[in-house]
Amino acid sequence: MNISVSENIALHESVKELYQPGVGLTVRTILENVLAGQELNQADAITLFQTEGAELDALTACADQLRRASVGDTVTFVINRNINYTNVCYMGCRFCSFAKRKDDPEAEFFDLDEIVARAQEAWDRGATEVCIQGGLHPNIPGHFYRDMLKAIKAKLPDMHIHAFSPFEIWFGARKSKMSYAEFIQDLIDHGLGSMPGTAAEILDTTIRQQLTRDKLTTEEWVEIVKTAHKLGLPTTSTIMYGHIDGPEHWAAHLALLRDIQKETGGFTEFVPLGFIHHKTPLYLEHAGVRPGPTRLEHIRMHAVARLMLNGWIDNIQASWVKLGPELAQQMLSAGVNDLGGTLMNESISRAAGAEHGQEMHPDSFVQIMRNMRRQPVRRNTLYRHITVYDAPEAAPAAPRYAGAAL
């Protein structure tokens, strides 16, 4: 983002929360520097992850200001459907309650007809995207990933297929005895439109080893994502936070995503995914694991992400499945400009005990955005605007959610 000097001054002076009593010189200086166009470094991000009260208000006001300067007052969503084609998985990630063994009565595997029928139903309901992710089923042949794309595209050539996390790519490439580049290129040739940036969790070796014994390593995640970007395939980016992690991991994770983006430009958005703890082995069987992020941690994560990624990844998404609609709405005043997808089906968070339902109707998205006096826009997966709704009426200012008030 290029901000001219005069705009910098305007930006800076309008954030009056920076000069309230209770905002110490350290936090004020960090925020002033960011508003003046300086890159937020990891040490300062760690400081911001610890703010509360008036300092947290100043952080969210700064995130809100940067959001307005980079993407304006529109808030976007996408009409999509999740297709979790199998929950059979032997990786044993301790934070995951979605995965089942083959002989489990709840084990599921959708054949190609079922997958196409779900995509067709979604298309008939106005979806532009299917988001396809599943377990690493030991019996899946390497060509199954390509077969899913071919089957959907044969029936629905214009459906955007957002599919296969870097972990599924790692698995499919091994099964197919192909390099990551060969495997991804083959998927692109058969209609893959973009990849979810899940399986990122916390991009830190020590943390990953505690989450999953043989987790895809940080280096492998980075290599697969960069390979996709270099082949012209965009991906999203995520973090799963609020378990055994902390501010220093969050700051390093965001800095790594920013470095990748500087090299490839391939990330479309960043989505913080709060850990849903209720039914997970990680929480139930290990002492000292936190029950997901606190409300203030959610706010800080979205706000610091806006500051850290500013000018590089301009779309910061709040996940309503993880947060619920009220908290997702509050995130709109902490740097967020996107509320993700309608989803239609949701199994991963639900399996871990989340209770926010499986679908968000477009009218509900529009209502949430209007409540915050923001302009609702329906987008496609790659952020092209599809429907611009009527602007919210000029009315009393939107509620501001901030640290002290929560």
Ligand X SMILES: Nc1c(NC[C@H](O)[C@H](O)[C@H](O)CO)[nH]c(=O)[nH]c1=O
State how far the Cα of 32 lies from the Cα of 12, in Å rounded to an integer.
7
Residue 96 or 321: the one with the smaller Cβ distance to ligand SF4 is 96
Q: Of residues 247-286, which lie at the interface with ligand TYR (CB under 6 A)?
A: 271, 273
Question: Is residue 333 involved in binding ligand TYR (CB under 6 A)?
Answer: no
From 87-95, 255-263, 275-283, 307-315, span contacting ligand SF4 (CB under 6 A): 87-95
Rounded to 5 degrees, what are φ and ψ at 94?
Answer: -70, -20
Taking CB under 6 A as the criterion, the residue among 49, 123, 167, 270 binding ligand SF4 is 167
Query: Which letter, b or e, does each residue of 202-224 get, where b requires 16 or more Cβ atoms within 10 Å of its Cβ?
Result: bbbeebbebbbeebbebebbbbb
Residues 73-92 as x/- pattern, contact with ligand X by CB under 6 A:
-----x-x-x----------
Among 11, 89, 192, 344, binds ligand SF4 (CB under 6 A): 89
> For residue 358, with 0-12 CB atoms within 10 Å meaning exposed, 13-18 middle and 19 or more buried, which class applies?
middle
CB of 169 to ligand SF4, least distance (A): 12
Give the Cα separation of 300 and 296 in Å (integer): 6
The 10 Å Cβ neighbour count of residue 380 is: 16
Query: Segment 343-362, which members bind ligand SAM (CB under 6 A)?
Result: 348, 352
Any idea what DSSP says for residue 156? -
Asked whether the beta carbons of 354 and 321 are under 8 A apart, the reply is yes
- For residues 253 and 204, the answer to whether their CB atoms sit within 8 Å is yes
CB-based contact 100:107 (threshold 8 Å): yes
Q: Which stretch binds ligand X (CB under 6 A): 15-23, 41-49, 337-345, 385-393?
A: 337-345
Residue 224 binds ligand TYR, judged by CB under 6 A:
no
Q: By CB under 6 A, what part of segment 131-150 binds ligand TYR? A: 131, 133
Q: Show Cβ contacts of residue 39 under 8 Å, excluding neighbours closer than 6 positions.
A: none
**Which residues in this chain contact ligand X in the complex, by CB under 6 A?**
78, 80, 82, 131, 162, 236, 268-269, 273, 317, 319, 321-322, 340-341, 343, 346, 348, 381
Give the annotated binding-site residues: 89, 93, 95-96, 165, 201, 319
The residue ranges that bind ligand SAM (CB under 6 A) are 89, 95-96, 98, 133, 135-136, 165, 167-168, 198-199, 201, 238, 240, 273, 275-276, 280, 348, 352
